[in-house]
Amino acid sequence: MKHLIAPALIAPALMAFAVTGPALSMDLTELTAAERAQFRAEVRSYLMENPEVIMEAVNKLQQRDAEAQAQADFTLVSDNAAAIFDDGFSYVGGNPEGDITIVEFMDYRCGYCKKAFSEVEKLVNGDGNIRFIVKELPILGEQSMVASRFAIATKLVAGDEGYKSVHDALMTFNGDITPTSLGRLAESFDLDADAITEKMDSAEVTEEIAKTRALAQVMNISGTPTFVMDDELLRGYLPYDQMKAIVEEKRG
């Protein structure tokens, strides 16, 4: 398999190699045109004879970038802990007294959120000591917004139990989100569809969505699912085994 290296990564890697190598340490700004040409020829010759150096430099650069991103994300979680873990309106399930907290920013129209749903449920229910928080982040169009408004309105009208039933159903629902389909969904759980529908456009629902969106923006979250596991921000879908391993690692 051929390695495909992004040009944007090669230039910084080569520059680092050029100016930090013990044998080549120099002030490049003081070179004459002839010296600069000779220097470039020597660097090219060395790299042609030792191409693995490019991969080593690129890998080192990627490692540093990943470490810097992880530290930045750690700071984001720490600085926004109250809004992430105790905003006063997001659904809290699992074990409210659990020793590990998992937060999921999700969208009901997100394919990877749907894929993660059963695995998150398996982890939370199977573990028994995980506090699980749902952040409604509708970013995939009008149907996403309608679904989130309906779910939040259900929470306000019917409480956490009603919300969880609707949330789970929406996570496994693959049809169009319409007033008719939502009405049928409410009726299937013996919920007051009219009261929920009336609540959907309320200031309370609008405010909850706006606050979660503002938090996501501050934390540079642009896609779903995004997870927070205690002090760690994890972007994108995670399979069950990987989530379970992270939980076990955090418990030490």
pLDDT digit string, tens, across residues 46-85: 888 887 877 777 777 677 766 666 677 889 999 999 999 9
Q: What is the mean pLDDT of residues 22-50?
A: 75
**φ, ψ (nearest 5 deg) of residue 106:** -135, 165
Average pLDDT, stretch 220-238? 94
Task: Kindly give, in sequence order, each residue whose CB lies less than 8 Å from that of residue 124, ignoring residues fewer than 6 positions away.
Answer: 93, 94, 102, 130, 132
Q: Which residue has the tokens 């509708």?
A: 138
Map out the domains of the chain with their CATH numbers.
7-73 (no CATH), 82-251 (3.40.30.10)
**pLDDT (0 to 100) of residue 4:** 47
Q: How confident is the model at residue 21 (pLDDT cuts 50, 70, 90)?
A: very low
pTM: predicted TM-score of the whole model, two decimal places: 0.75
Predicted confidence (pLDDT) at residue 3 exceeds the cutoff of 50: no
Lowest mean pLDDT among 34-43, 81-90, 104-113: 34-43
**Model confidence at 170, in pLDDT bands (50, 70, 90)?**
very high
Q: Above 70 in pLDDT, residue 139?
A: yes
Tell me the pLDDT tens digit for each residue of 175-207: 999 999 999 999 999 999 999 999 999 999 999
pLDDT band of 126, cuts 50, 70, 90: very high
125: pLDDT strictly greater than 60: yes
